[in-house]
Amino acid sequence: MSRLTPYDEAQALVAAVRVHEFTKKTSPSFKEVAEILGMTTDWVSRVCTELSDKGIIALVEGPFQTTCIVVEDHLAVEALPKKVRENRMEEELKKFKEKTAGIYEQKVKAIQEEQKKKEKDLFDDIAEKFKRELDS
């Protein structure tokens, strides 16, 4: 599935709520909207929370610990962004890689320099012992 814009997500969710209200004459739950849209209840819950914060829908606690979705201001959907949102995880990962790339290179260089110094010290030590043996 291609990634949806916030506008498309809201349109789909509001339409699903309206279809359910029209056919069943009741407000739908997350599960019922998820079934209509063929999405997961987690997706529906996330989108509903975002839309509820913007006043587009209302989440009403129903009987038996269910949450029903009610459309409040369908016109507010038009104000939502029509561009696909950036994947924050990918963005943060990219920033982390850029930030740490130099650190790893510096550590590798430091380890290589330390290794060269150890080899030189060892060689100098062996050469000095060899020289003492020759002088004796």
DSSP 51-109: HHHTTSEEEEE-GGG-EEEEES-GGGGGGS--SPPP-HHHHHHHHHHHHHHHHHHHHHH
Query: What pLDDT, on a 0 to 100 scale, did the predictor assign at position 132?
Result: 85
**Are 13 and 21 a contacting pair, CB within 8 Å?**
no
Fold of 6-79: Arc Repressor Mutant, subunit A (1.10.10)
Q: What is the pLDDT of residues 105-114, one digit of tens each?
A: 888 899 999 9
Q: What is the pLDDT of residues 45-104, one digit of tens each?
A: 999 999 999 999 999 987 778 889 999 998 988 888 888 766 677 778 888 888 787 787
Domain range summary for the chain, segments of one domain joined by +: 6-79, 87-136
Query: What pLDDT, on a 0 to 100 scale, did the predictor assign at position 86?
Result: 66
Q: Strand ranges (DSSP E) for 18-129?
A: 57-61, 67-71
